[in-house]
């Protein structure tokens, strides 16, 4: 039985990545199968060439121009501020009161400035406060930093804050930059692919990292025009390994089953899955098993990582923005790099942009520490 809760809607979105500086540019790239992944040969980042996804200099110039009046923000904070400000403009949020909160989802924040700035400038809480102040948000500035599920958890938290009655609107921004620190960390796990990533494919070699920021504004205000409904969310933990996911997928399956129950729907009601789909051997295998366990094996599924790489703290928000666009356009999102099934359970991987009736979409995420998180988005 569905939990009786007030409806919470996404009323505005924005995204910036290698695919472009707004949502329409992202959707156009997806329509034309234009990936943001490129081969870089940058010795300041890595002694070897690497594949990644980063906004080009023209986009960064645009970000600097739009945030130069926001005070002494770091590049990471400028990137987050840019996307949040653009989403607020899309929602026509001229001013905010104490009934609007800000949630920053990130895994690394200003880590690229380690040993270059005072320690307090590395604190995520301070970054969230500075960004909120630059945006004119008077409510609380909060941080969710929970490995790669951060964006999905942040949206769940925003949903809970509104349903609790504490806030009328919540601005959720996910942001992470590409840095040598992050690249070297994932390289130490031998998780970086030396070619464009191929989620769920038999020839997959690992992940590509990405730099991005995205914002979704949640609201329960009946006067605002909804673009999607955030129906429910749930989380779980594998308690399996500090970095390796569950080998069975049972724990992600628990989160999926729980959020379906909260939404009052069945697996057959899910029309599309936006998977975490990192293109690592163990993550893709775990997700495939979880989808089978929960009766979702035949549901169309994709991973956005083939377009933008793994954007860490931005991933759950950015991929939800694209999910919302999929609901708006009634089109299934393709999964670049997929050719042949590479997991033990077959999945219905979407290979090209396809028209479809999409009412409910499931968004999954998994991360270090065995964390799993799930959302259900609905066409309003």
Q: pLDDT per residue over 208-256, tens digit each?
A: 999 999 999 999 998 899 999 999 999 999 887 777 788 899 999 999 9
Q: Is residue 239 part of a domain?
A: yes
Q: Is residue 1 part of a domain?
A: no
Q: Is residue 22 part of a domain?
A: yes
Q: Is residue 277 part of a domain?
A: yes
How confident is the model at residue 3, as a pLDDT?
Answer: 52
Cβ partners under 8 Å of residue 61, min gap 6: none
How confident is the model at residue 340, as a pLDDT?
Answer: 97
Q: Is residue 224 part of a domain?
A: no
Residue that is last in its domain, among 161, 195, 219:
219
Q: Name the residue range of residue 322's domain.
A: 230-378
Cβ neighbours of 131 (radius 10 Å): 28
Lookup: tokens for 186: 């994932």
Above 50 in pLDDT, residue 1? no
| Residues 276 and 146 grouped into a single domain | no
How confident is the model at residue 368, as a pLDDT?
Answer: 87
How confident is the model at residue 92, as a pLDDT?
Answer: 87
- Cross-strand bridge partners of residue 229: 9, 378
> How many percent of the chain have pLDDT more than 90?
89
How confident is the model at residue 246, as a pLDDT?
Answer: 83
How confident is the model at residue 4, as a pLDDT?
Answer: 56
- Cβ atoms 77, 206 nearer than 8 A: no
Confidence of residue 377 (pLDDT cuts 50, 70, 90): very high
Residue that is last in its domain, among 219, 238, 270:
219
| Residues 21 and 110 grouped into a single domain | yes
Above 80 in pLDDT, residue 12? yes
Instruction: Name the E strands within 112-161.
Output: 141-144
How confident is the model at residue 136, as a pLDDT?
Answer: 94
Going by their DSSP bridges, the two strands 331-332 and 348-349 should be labelled as unpaired
| Residues 202 and 246 grouped into a single domain | no
How confident is the model at residue 96, as a pLDDT?
Answer: 79
- Residues 15-36 have a mean pLDDT of 98
- Residues 320-336 have a mean pLDDT of 98
| Residues 250 and 338 grouped into a single domain | yes
Query: What count of residues does the chain have?
Result: 380
- Report how many domains make up the chain: 2
Lookup: tokens for 115: 């040993």
Above 80 in pLDDT, residue 70? no
Above 60 in pLDDT, residue 52? yes
Going by their DSSP bridges, the two strands 100-105 and 212-219 should be labelled as unpaired
Taking Cα atoms as reference points, which of 305, 60, 326 lies closest to residue 193?
Answer: 305
How confident is the model at residue 94, as a pLDDT?
Answer: 66
User: 279-288 pLDDT, tens per residue?
Assistant: 999 999 999 9
Going by their DSSP bridges, the two strands 100-105 and 169-176 should be labelled as parallel
CATH number of the domain that residue 290 is part of = 3.40.47.10
- Cβ atoms 157, 167 nearer than 8 A: no
| Residues 67 and 162 grouped into a single domain | yes
- Cross-strand bridge partners of residue 23: none
User: 146-183 pLDDT, tens per residue?
Assistant: 999 999 999 999 999 999 999 999 999 999 999 999 99
| Residues 44 and 63 grouped into a single domain | yes
Taking Cα atoms as reference points, which of 161, 217, 218, 173 lies closest to residue 8?
Answer: 218
Confidence of residue 292 (pLDDT cuts 50, 70, 90): very high
| Residues 166 and 37 grouped into a single domain | yes
- Residues 313-333 have a mean pLDDT of 98
Going by their DSSP bridges, the two strands 360-367 and 270-274 should be labelled as parallel
344-367 burial: b if 16+ Cβ within 10 Å, else e? eeebebbeebeeeebebbbbbbbb
> How many percent of the chain have pLDDT more than 70?
98
Confidence of residue 302 (pLDDT cuts 50, 70, 90): very high
| Residues 19 and 147 grouped into a single domain | yes
What distance in Å separates the CA atoms of residue 74 and residue 21, rounded to the nearest whole number? 19
Q: Is residue 249 part of a domain?
A: yes
CA distances from 254 to 44, 117, 245 (A): 43, 42, 14
Mean pLDDT computed over every residue of the chain: 95
Cβ partners under 8 Å of residue 149, min gap 6: 235, 316, 365, 366, 367, 371, 372, 373
CA distances from 378 to 29, 42, 117, 265, 266 (A): 23, 42, 43, 11, 14
Q: Is residue 178 part of a domain?
A: yes
First to last CA, the chain: 20
Q: Is residue 3 part of a domain?
A: no
Place of tokens 């929960």: 294
What distance in Å separates the CA atoms of residue 362 and residue 374, rounded to the nearest whole number? 7
| Residues 290 and 171 grouped into a single domain | no
Place of tokens 């259900």: 376
- Residues 74-82 have a mean pLDDT of 97
- Residues 42-56 have a mean pLDDT of 96
| Residues 184 and 272 grouped into a single domain | no
Lookup: tokens for 7: 């409806």
Confidence of residue 32 (pLDDT cuts 50, 70, 90): very high
Dihedral sign for Cα 70, 74, 79, 83, please: negative
Cβ neighbours of 95 (radius 10 Å): 9
| Residues 176 and 257 grouped into a single domain | no
- Cβ atoms 359, 271 nearer than 8 A: yes
Residue that is last in its domain, among 168, 199, 219:
219
Place of tokens 């964006």: 151
| Residues 78 and 198 grouped into a single domain | yes
Taking Cα atoms as reference points, which of 105, 262, 79 lies closest to residue 170?
Answer: 105
- Tell me which long-range contacts 64-71 makes (C-beta under 8 A, separation of at least 24): 67/134, 70/134, 71/130, 71/133, 71/134
User: 103-147 pLDDT, tens per residue?
Assistant: 999 999 999 998 899 998 999 999 999 999 999 998 899 999 999
């Amino acid at each position: 039985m569905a939990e009786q809760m007030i409806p919470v809607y996404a009323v505005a979105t924005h995204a910036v990545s290698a695919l472009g500086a707004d949502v329409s540019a992202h959707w156009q790239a997806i329509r034309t199968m234009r990936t943001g992944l490129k081969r870089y040969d940058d010795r300041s980042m890595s002694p070897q060439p690497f594949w990644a996804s980063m906004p080009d200099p023209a986009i960064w110039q645009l970000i600097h121009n739009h945030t130069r009046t926001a005070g002494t923000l770091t590049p990471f904070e400028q990137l987050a501020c840019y996307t949040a400000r653009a989403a607020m403009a899309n929602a026509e949020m001229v001013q905010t009161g104490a009934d609007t909160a800000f949630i920053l989802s990130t895994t690394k924040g200003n880590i690229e400035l380690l040993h270059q700035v005072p320690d307090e400038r590395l604190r995520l809480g301070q970054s969230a406060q500075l960004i909120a102040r630059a945006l004119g948000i008077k409510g609380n500035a909060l941080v969710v930093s929970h490995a790669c599920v951060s964006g999905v958890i942040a949206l769940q938290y925003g949903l809970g804050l509104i349903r609790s009655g504490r806030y009328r609107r919540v601005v959720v921004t996910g942001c992470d930059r590409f840095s040598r620190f992050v690249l070297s960390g994932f390289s130490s796990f031998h998780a970086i692919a030396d070619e464009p990533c191929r989620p769920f494919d038999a020839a997959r070699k690992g992940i590509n990292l990405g730099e991005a920021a995205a914002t979704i504004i949640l609201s329960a205000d009946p006067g605002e025009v909804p673009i999607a409904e955030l129906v429910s969310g749930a989380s779980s933990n594998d308690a399996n390994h500090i970095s390796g996911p569950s080998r069975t997928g049972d724990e992600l399956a628990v989160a999926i089953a729980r959020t379906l129950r909260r939404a009052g729907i069945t697996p057959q009601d899910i029309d599309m899955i936006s998977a975490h789909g990192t293109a690592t051997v163990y993550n893709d295998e775990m997700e495939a098993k979880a989808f089978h366990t929960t009766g979702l094996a035949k549901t169309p599924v994709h991973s956005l990582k083939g377009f933008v790489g793994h954007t860490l703290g931005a991933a759950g928000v950015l991929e939800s923005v694209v999910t919302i666009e999929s609901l708006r356009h009634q089109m299934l999102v393709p999964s670049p790099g997929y050719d042949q099934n590479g997991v033990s359970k077959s999945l219905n991987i979407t290979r090209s942009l396809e028209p479809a009736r999409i009412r409910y979409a499931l968004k999954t995420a998994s991360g270090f520490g065995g964390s799993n998180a799930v959302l259900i988005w609905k066409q309003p």
